[in-house]
Amino acid sequence: MRVLLSTIGSRGDVQPVVALALRLREIGHEARLCAPPDFREWAEGLSVEFVPLGSEVRPGTKPDSEFRRLGATPEGRQQLMDGTVATQFETLLPAAEGCDVVLGWSALQVAAPSIAEKLGIRHVYATYSPNQLPSGQHPPIPLPGCVHPAGADNRTLWEMESRRWNEQWRRAVNSNRARIGLGPIEDVLSHMNSPRPWLAADPVLGPWPGSDGLQVTQTGAWLMRDARPLPDELARFLDAGEPPVFFGFGSTGDAQAEVVNTMVAAARAVGRRAVISSGWADLALAAAADDVIVIGEANFQALFPRMAAAVHHGGSGTTTVTSISGTPHVIVPHRYDQFYWAERVEALGIGTRHEGTEPTVESLTAAVDRALRPEVAVAAKAVATEMVRDGVETAANLLVS
C-alpha cells in the first residue's frame, strides 16, 4: 500500500507523521510526506520520501515575516487562508497520484478530503488534541483573530467556530474543488474531519470525552522511536550532580533572550542545575556557568527520565514524552492546544501550569517549586505506567487494514 501523509506546522506537527511513515515502512508499505520545506533535510535523512508543502514556517525566515505582516489585518489573514488552500490543492493532487489513502494530520488539512475524493481513494483525518474535534465537553481552539465570548457553553462555541470556518475557508475550498471538477461542500469542519477521525493522543493524558454523531478512534500518541545516545557533554553534566530541571519552548520561536536568565535564576532558587534547550528561538547563555548547559537537538526520551522536572510550552509531543518519562511538568502555554495540555497536567496532578506567557523569576520559581513536591513526582510516575506506548503501531495497522 502507498500512503500520502500531509501536515502543516512546526516540529510538533511533523514528527508524529514522520514516526508513522517510518512505521509503515517497517511493515512493508510506502509513505510519501507533504510538509513545510523546513523539514526536508531531516525527513530525507531518514529516507522518507518528501514533497514540500507551502512556505517555511521557522520564525525569522522571509516567509514567516510576510505571514506575520499579512496576519496583522483581517484582509491579510484572508489572503493567507486563500493562498494556503490553493497551495494545498496544487501540491497534494499530484503528490497523491498512485496512492491508496490520504491522511491529513492536524488542523488546516482542508484540501486532503477533496483530493481523496477526486482520486477515488480513502481519506483519514487525524489530530493530536481532543479540542480539535467537536465535542460538548471542551471548547474549540479559536481561529486566529477570534476571541470566544465569556460564558458561552462549549456546544455554542463549536457552532460559532464552524460558522467562522465556513466564512473564512469555504469560498476558497469550493473554488478549488470546482477547478478540479468537484461540487461544493456546505461545512468545512465536518468535511475536513471526516465522519470517523482519529485522535492520536494518549487516552490517559488526553481522553476523548465523546460526542454526538462523531465516531472517533483513539490510537494513542504517535511517538518516534529514538535510540540515540545523549551527547557526551550532556551525559557528563547529568552524571556530575543531582537531576537538573529542563527548560525549553521547542518551536516557539518568539521566546525572548532574557528568558534564559529567568530560567537559570529559577533553577538556582530551588537548588537545582538547569538544562536549557535552545529551540527555534536559539536561546543561549550570556556567560558560561558550571550549573547550566544549553543543548540543541537531543533525544528527549533518554533525557527526560533524568530530569527533576521539565519546564516547557505544552506542545502535545513534549507533554507526552515528559509524561511517559514520569517527569513532573511546568507548562507555560502560549497558543493553540497548549492550554488544554496544561489543564490536563494539573488535573492529573503531574505538574503545574504557569499563569501567563512571560515568566518572571518569582513566578517561574514558584511554579518549579510546586512541580518538585514529592506528591507530584509520585503521581507523575504512576501516570507514566498507565500510558500507551504503541500508538503509532496501532495507527499504521489501522491505516493499511
Instruction: Give the CATH superfamily of 232-386.
Output: Glycogen Phosphorylase B; (3.40.50.2000)
- The predicted-structure confidence for 225-281, as pLDDT tens digits, reads as follows 898 999 999 999 999 999 999 999 865 545 556 788 899 999 999 999 999 988 766
Distances (CA, A) of 326 to 308, 315, 380: 10, 17, 5
Q: Which residue in the block uniquely carries the three cell numbers 469555504?
A: 170
pLDDT tens-place string over residues 149-175: 777 888 888 888 889 899 999 999 999
CATH 3.40.50.2000 spans which residues of the chain?
A: 2-222, 232-386
Question: pLDDT at position 68, please?
Answer: 61
Give the residue from 314, 315, 235, 313 showing the smallest Cα distance to 275: 235
Residue 134, pLDDT score: 82
pLDDT in tens, 33-87: 999 999 999 999 999 999 999 888 876 665 655 656 655 677 778 888 899 999 9
Q: Please state which of the ranges 6-10, 31-35, 134-138, 258-262 shows the lowest mean pLDDT.
A: 134-138
**Which CA distances in Å does 261 have to 53, 245, 287, 292, 361?**
37, 14, 10, 11, 8
pLDDT in tens, 288-335: 789 999 998 889 999 999 999 999 999 999 999 999 999 999 999 988
How deeply is 302 buried, as exposed, middle or buried, from its count of CB atoms within 10 A (0-12, 13-18, 19+)?
middle
Q: Which regions of 21-134 does DSSP assign to beta strands (E)?
A: 30-35, 49-52, 101-105, 122-127
The residue among 129, 94, 92 whose CA lies nearest residue 113 is: 92
CA angle 386, 387, 391 (to 5 degrees): 145
Domain covering 2-222: architecture: 3-Layer(aba) Sandwich (3.40)
Cβ of 147: how many Cβ atoms within 10 Å?
6
pLDDT for the residue numbered 335: 80
pLDDT given at position 110: 94
Whether residue 142 is predicted with pLDDT greater than 90 in this model: the reply is no
Q: Sheet harboring 245-248: ordered strands across?
A: 292-295, 274-277, 245-248, 309-312, 329-331, 351-353
pLDDT at 132 over 80: yes
Distance of CA 108 to the CA centre of its chain: 13
For residue 120, pLDDT beyond 70? yes
**pLDDT score for 250:** 62
Instruction: Give pTM, 2 decimals.
Output: 0.90
> Closest by alpha carbon to 344, among 368, 386, 365, 316?
316
Q: Which residue has the cell 535523512?
A: 45
Which of residues 278 and 148 earns the better pLDDT score? 278
Give residue 25's pLDDT band: very low, low, confident or very high (50, 70, 90): very high
Q: Which of 323, 333, 328, 343 is nearest to 373 (CA)?
A: 328
Contact 23, 50 (CB under 8 A): no
Residue in the structure block whose three cell numbers are 504512576:
382
pLDDT at 119: 97
Residue 384: how many other CB atoms lie within 10 Å? 18
Residue the block writes with cell 471548547: 139
d(CA 379, CA 381): 5
Please write the tens of the pLDDT for every residue from 182-212. Answer: 999 999 998 998 779 999 999 999 999 887 6
Please give the grid coordinates belonging to residue 349: 496532578
